[in-house]
Amino acid sequence: MYADQHNPDKPDLDSPERIGHFVEAFYERLLKDETLAPIFLDVAAIDIHEHFPRIQAYWEKLLMGGQDYHRHTMNIHRALYHKRPLTRADFDLWLSYFTQTMDEKFAGPYAERAKRIAATIADNMHRALNGP
């Protein structure tokens, strides 16, 4: 069990608004990274303002059973992988930013669940794209 899990000074990731705050904080950090930022901004060429609501809907679906996300995440990342291979180091770095952001800003059962889900996503995505 993590020390911050029941920290009363940090909210849990238990509402769409808080998930939105997390997504913004996470991408603010991630898009400053010299390795990951070009993958998102240049290779994937995402419009960050269009991307945020999609990512928020994705996490709402995973954490709260939201129904607003209908994209096939693996297909999106396969297309990206053909433009620029995504390595274990890329996924590990993504996960480290995810976990750091979560630990700094949120605590509780939903936050812990999000970190477990993110670790599974990073591992599964890497394996699906690169093999075991």
The third-level CATH classification (topology) of the domain covering 13-130 is: Globin-like (1.10.490)
DSSP notation for 26-84: HHHHHTT-TTHHHIIIIIS---HHHHHHHHHHHHHHHHH--S-----HHHHHHHHHHHS
pLDDT at 1: 37
Confidence of residue 117 (pLDDT cuts 50, 70, 90): very high
pLDDT at residue 63 in the model: 93
**In the predicted model, is pLDDT for residue 4 greater than 90?**
no
Mean pLDDT of the 86-106 span: 97
Q: Is 70 annotated as a binding residue?
A: no
Q: For the chain, what is the mean pLDDT?
A: 88
Question: How far, in Å, CA of 84 to CA of 71, rounded?
Answer: 21
Q: Which two tokens stand for residue 108?
A: 């509780």
Task: Give the residue extent of every domain in the chain.
Answer: 13-130
Q: Which residue has the higher pLDDT, 38 or 74?
A: 38
- pLDDT of 50-87, one tens digit each? 888 888 998 999 999 877 666 667 778 888 888 889 99
- Find the mean pLDDT for residues 30-43: 93
Note the pLDDT of residue 33. Answer: 97
111 has pLDDT over 90: yes
Q: What is the pLDDT of residue 51?
A: 85
- Helix or strand holding residue 117 (H, E): helix 109-130
